[in-house]
Each structure stands twice: as structure tokens, then as C-alpha cells.
Amino acid sequence: MAMIVGQMGTALLGLGATGAAGAAHARFDVLSSLALILCVAAITTVIFQRIHQPVVLGYLLAGLIVGPHMPIPLFADVEIAHLFSDLGVILLMFALGLEFTLGKLARVGPTAGIVAVIECSLMIGLGYAVAGLFGWSTYERLFVGAFVAISSTTIIVKAFAENGIGGAFSEIVFGILIVEDVIAILLLAVLTTVASGVGLTAGALAMTAVRLAGFLAGMLVVGMLIVPRLVRAITRIDRTETTVVGCVGICFASALAARTFGYSVALGAFLGGVLVAESGQAKVVERVIEPVKDVFAAVFFVSVGMLIDPSLVAAHWIPIAVLSLVVVVGKVVGVTMGSFIAGNGIRTSVQSGMSLAQIGEFSFIIIGVGLSLGVVRDFLVPMAVAVSALTTLATPWLVRAAGPVANMVDRRLPPALQTYSALYGTWVQQLRHPSDRRTPRGGIRRRITLLLVDVALMAVLLVVISINFATLNQLAVSRLHVPARLAHALVVCGAIAVGLPFLVGSVRMARGLAWMLAAEALPVVAEGEMDLAAAPRRALLVTVQIGILLLAGLPLVAIAQPFWPRLPWPAFLLVGLLALAVPLWRGATNLHGHVRAGAQVILEALANQSQAAAPNGPADIDLKRLVPGMGNTAAVRLAPEHFGSGRTLRQTNLRGRTGASVIAIEREGQPLFPSADEPLRPGDTIVLTGTEDAVDAARGLLTSIPAG
């Protein structure tokens, strides 16, 4: 017995020694991996800052160096890197949520939301279609569409800071990025749920939507009752360590709640940041957690770089090149189109599109979720990184070239479209800030709600019929005793018959809403009076219809593509746009004639008043009411010392620099409709039109005194 007890004691001592050695070895692996990751990342970051490139690319290069795919004797443990990178994702999303408040979303939503919905829907559709050309699975196509849709906030902040870009233009771009991030969060939630095994069935999709809505509502309602009060109590203590520990605790608790309900930890961390921001202490919290976030975010980007296999990148260089081209071209077109419809003008719209033509950190998170769920293959991660790297490297060049390209596009437009684009911004401005509201807000909201209901019901109908198409086909064969081909045609005809009322209803609601908005911006006169705003109102009506078609049609196409991949959805949308393009061109042409006639009326009024002593032209004529639909109009008289004197309109680059247009010149009592090469002379009275800010900027530019 003593011998047995002694042997057992010896064995236990041996096991204890082995366990201690194993624990020490594990600690050594964690320590060595973290030390290697952070040291290499520090070196690459310094190098990339010195060469004025985004530090994110430095982190990706560090991951490539310490990863398992390069013949460099520096290897970090991949599992340990990914463990800490999960913490980086959580803290990144929490910090992103800190930048949001519900009030901020309400402010940027109406304008930036239009741009983001159009652009993201277009990119999801393009990404899905391009991935289909390479024969990838449905889930892979969905994740590719999602990861090419979201631009990089981090890269844009860096590029704008290096180029000294700020003011109203940067506010527009960052507003779009805010709404894009919200869309990305929703995409993450939906893709995570669908790819977790529920599948693409009608019941599963319905339950997914209900569960997601319930989770978001529960998190926000319960969180708003607890988190803001808790954060205010913590920050009142005014101790940095308490604030860090308390807020990071809220961050991880929110992430855990999301994981418990089957959602991504990124969604939970983002909601935690939003709830903390509602406390009003977001700046304080952001400042104290920033060092912690930066460390773990660096590990996250390094871990992404560790997944890059150069051989996979080389093997898939064609899809990488195609997707990079799709990201740049698609985002430039989508953002430009959406931004113009939102009323930002040609120059600002083109600049915004060229600034947002890249993908970044959110794309890594989206494709990483797909990889962790096992629905995408390994090669998509290095592909996403390669596309991000190429588009990121192009971003500084695109940002610097945005201004000249925008000016070139503006100059190359036909005169009718130049006039139209200048006035359209003033009409949208009038819609945002009407001086005399004629249409109740409730009527506009009612039509928008009905339009959204019709479009949503069409989307649901498309999904349900697609999922149950085989069952319906078999039912028609068995009940009606007809051949399979005829049953197929009957099911299609039945689907069209069921969906036609919703399509007609959506078209009617769109036309009614467009007319209501056009009449709000350019009121209709009483019967029997001359309607001087008829031509501008028609042009605005068609433009609003195009905007509604894009806002409703692009998301519908993006939703319908996975369920009806054989139907030419882009062709349907293109036919609708072409059908509206013809009346748009006619409206722009008529508007050009209207502007010339209006300019003649304005010049006659100025000549009759004959205030030659006023240096900036007559100020007491209400030019805007004199010719309705002409936007904010002003008359400026040039003196010999003014900047505009002696220069042509092309040399002043007035439209490019201010967004305002010159519609007429009064010279020695005679009206003149100038071309771009018309020289401006002292004593000229120049009639300007555009938004209020554009006209003020143009007046200031023309009458400024050049140095020396």
C-alpha cells in the first residue's frame, strides 16, 4: 500500500510539473506572438507614415511578414493573432458606434441616406453579378456584393487630413460614410443569420427579419434606460481607469449579448457604442479608450494580413483586377449619381464619388464573418485584402484629381445640362427650407410610406414565389393536368398578375410624390394666371421621378438578384431610366430657353431701374420672385479693380470654384448671353444664379481685389 501511495504521489508530481511546463509554454507563445506582431507592425507603420501612405497598409504588410505564407523567419501564432483580433473588431465597432447618436443620424439621413442607399444597392448588385461570372456560390456572391459596397472611413479621414480637405464638402462625405456604416451593420446582421444555417426559405427569412427587429429594439430600449445613466455616473467620478474599465465592460457585454442571440459580436459592440454616445460623454470615452482600441485594431489588421497567401493572390489576379475596377468605377458612378439627386451639384457630386472609391476595414470584417461561418472559401480573404490595397493606394490620387476632373466634367456638359444642374440644386434647397410651406408634411410622409409598402410587398412576392416556384409548378401540373412547360408559364403569368397591382401602385405613388415635391419647391399659380415656373417644375418633376426610381429600384434589384438570377434585372432598371431620360433632356432644353427669357426680363428690370451708382447692382429688386424657378439670382456690377474684370468666364472658373452660373450680362444697356470665352469688362452687370451659398461665393470672387 505504501508503495502504491508513493507511486501515485510521484505520478501526480510528474503531472503537475508537466502541466506547469505546458502553461509556461503557452504563455511564452502568447508573449512571443504579441511581441512579434506589435514590433513588426510598429516598424511598418513608421515606414508607411514616412512615405505618406495609410497605416492600414502597413499593418497588412506586417501580417504578411509574420504570417505563414512568406519565407521569412518570423512566424507568429495564427490562432493567437486571431484571438486578439476578435478583441480588435469589438473595440473598432464600439469606437465606430461612439460617433453615432440618433440625432446625428436624423440630421444626415435625408441627404446622405439617398446617396448611400443608391450607391450601396448598386455595388451589392454589381458585386453579386461579377462574382457570378467567376462561378462562385450564392453565399460567396452575397458576401462579395456586401464587401465591395462599403467605403473606408479610416482611409478617407487620412486622405482628407493629408490634403487639407474640410468644410461643407467633407461634411457631405462623412455623412455618406455614417449611413454606409449603418447599412454595413444591417448587412452583417442579415448575412450572419442567413449563413448560420437557416437557409434561403420564406419562413426562415421572415423569422430572421422579426428576430433582428426584436433584438435591435430590445437592445436599444433596454440600453437607453440603463447605459447612458451608467456612463454619466462613471464619468462623474473623473478617473481615467474607471472610465476605461467601465466603458470597455459595456462594450464586451453588448458584444456578448449579440453573440448570445446568434448575431455578430461586431453588431453588439456597435450598439454598445451608440448607447454610450447617447450619454453625451462620447468624446470623453473616445479619448480614454483610443489607445486600447489602437493596439487591438493593429492586431486585427495584422491578423488579416497573415491570411494573405501570395500564391492565391497570383492565381486569382483576374478577379482581383475586375473587382478593383468595379469598386472604383461603380462607387464613382453610384455616389456621383446619388449625390447629384440629393442636390449637391455636379462638382461636389463628382468629387464625392472619387473620394469614396475604395473599400477598407468593414470589408475585412464582412468577409471574415463569412469565413468563420464556413460559407466562403479561403481565397476570398486575400482577394478582399488585395482589392482593398489597390483601391486604397489609388485613393490619394483620386482625391487630388477630383477637383480637376469635376471641373472638366462640368465644362464638357451641354449648355442645357449646365443650366439645369445649376438650378436643380436651388430647387432642392427650396424643398429643404421652404419659405412658405404649402403641402402638409403628413401628405408627403403618407405617400412615401405607401410607396415603400408597395415596393416591400413586391420584394416579398418575388422572394416567396422564387422559393416556392417548384412547388407551385408541381401543383399546377397535378391540379390542372397540364404539361410542365405550360404549368411553368401559368405560374409566371399568375405571379405577374399578383404583382401587377403593387407595380402600378408604386408607379402612381412615385408620380404623385414627385408632383407634390415639385409643386412644393415651385408652387403652381392660380388658374388663369401665367405660370412662369412651368418649365422648371417639369424638369424637377422628371428628376424627382428618376431619384425615386433609383431609390426604390436599385434595392429591389439587389434583393431580387439572388432569387431570380436568370432575369435581366439591370436591363429592366436601365429601360426605366432611359424612358425618363428623354423627358429629362426635353425639360432641360426647355429650361435653357426659360432661363434665357428670364435673364432678358431681369436685364430689362435692371435697365429700367438704372442704378449705376450701386457698385454691386440694384439690391432692392426681388429677382427670385420676378422670374420664379430661376433659383437664387443676383446682379453684380464689376469695377476696374475687381478680379473678374478683364478675365473670361473660363479663366475665372466661376462654376468650378463656386457652383454658380452666369446667365446674362448687361453691357452698355444691351443684353448679352455669354459663352465661356466671353471677356468680362468693367461696368458689366453680371446676373448670377445658383444656390444661396454658390451665389454669395461667386459675388465674392468676382468683386474681390487681386493681391498686388
Q: Considering the entire predicted model, what is its pTM? A: 0.79
Comparing CA positions, the residue from 91, 78, 77 lying closest to residue 365 is: 91
In this predicted structure, the answer to whether residue 601 has a pLDDT above a threshold of 60 is: yes
Average predicted confidence (pLDDT) for the chain: 78
Contact between 60 and 391 under an 8 Å Cβ cutoff? The reply is no
Contact between 95 and 88 under an 8 Å Cβ cutoff? The reply is no
Q: How far is the C-alpha of 153 from the C-alpha of 586, rounded, in Å?
A: 40
In the block, residue with C-alpha cell 482625391: 399
Please, where in the chain does CATH 3.30.70.1450 lie? 601-702
Please, where in the chain does CATH 1.20.1530.20 lie? 55-64+77-407
Hey, how many other C-beta atoms are within 10 angstroms of the C-beta on 597? 13
Hey, how many other C-beta atoms are within 10 angstroms of the C-beta on 635? 24
Q: How far is the C-alpha of 325 from the C-alpha of 316, rounded, in Å?
A: 15
Q: How far is the C-alpha of 489 from the C-alpha of 664, rounded, in Å?
A: 61
Please tell me the predicted confidence (pLDDT) of residue 10: 41
Please tell me the predicted confidence (pLDDT) of residue 527: 66
β-sheet bridge partners, residue 670:
667
Q: Name the DSSP letter for residue 678.
A: P
Summarised one tens digit per residue, pLDDT across range 385-401 is: 888 888 887 887 888 88
Chain centre to alpha carbon of residue 584: 26
Summarised one tens digit per residue, pLDDT across range 45-56 is: 888 888 877 787
Is the alpha carbon torsion for 56, 158, 155, 157 positive or negative? positive
Summarised one tens digit per residue, pLDDT across range 610-640 is: 544 444 444 445 555 666 666 677 778 888 8
Please tell me the predicted confidence (pLDDT) of residue 595: 75
Summarised one tens digit per residue, pLDDT across range 36-88 is: 888 888 898 888 888 877 787 888 888 888 888 788 777 777 777 777 777 88
H runs (alpha helix) in 307-359: 310-315, 317-341, 346-355
In this predicted structure, the answer to whether residue 167 has a pLDDT above a threshold of 60 is: yes
Question: Which of 11-20, 401-410, 465-474, 563-572 is the least confident region?
Answer: 11-20
Is the alpha carbon torsion for 533, 535, 536, 541 positive or negative? positive
Is the alpha carbon torsion for 247, 251, 256, 257 positive or negative? positive
CA 219 to each of CA 77, 214, 224, 256, 271: distance values in angstroms, whole numbers, following the listed order: 36, 8, 8, 12, 8
Q: How far is the C-alpha of 419 from the C-alpha of 599, rounded, in Å?
A: 12
Q: How far is the C-alpha of 596 from the C-alpha of 36, rounded, in Å?
A: 70
One-letter amino acid for residue 1 of the chain: M
Instruction: Spell out the residues 6+ positions from residue 332 whose beta carbon is closer than 8 angstroms to its own.
Output: 350, 353, 354, 357
Hey, how many other C-beta atoms are within 10 angstroms of the C-beta on 413? 15
Classify 55-64+77-407 by CATH class.
mainly alpha
Confidence class of residue 516 from pLDDT cuts 50, 70 and 90?
A: confident
One-letter amino acid for residue 456 of the chain: A
Residue 613: CA count within 13 A, CB half-sphere: 0
One-letter amino acid for residue 121 of the chain: S
Q: How far is the C-alpha of 291 from the C-alpha of 269, rounded, in Å?
A: 17
Instruction: Identify the helix (H) or strand (E) that includes residue 689.
Output: strand 685-690
Average pLDDT over residues 604-610: 64
Contact between 112 and 356 under an 8 Å Cβ cutoff? The reply is no
Q: How far is the C-alpha of 193 from the C-alpha of 204, rounded, in Å?
A: 9
Please tell me the predicted confidence (pLDDT) of residue 327: 92
C-alpha cell at 549: 426610381
Pairing of strands 632-637, 661-667: unpaired
Question: Which of 16-30, 409-423, 522-536 is the least confident region?
Answer: 16-30
Q: Is 683 left (phi over 0), alpha (psi -120 to 50) or beta?
A: left
Superfamily of domain 601-702: Regulator of K+ conductance, C-terminal domain (3.30.70.1450)
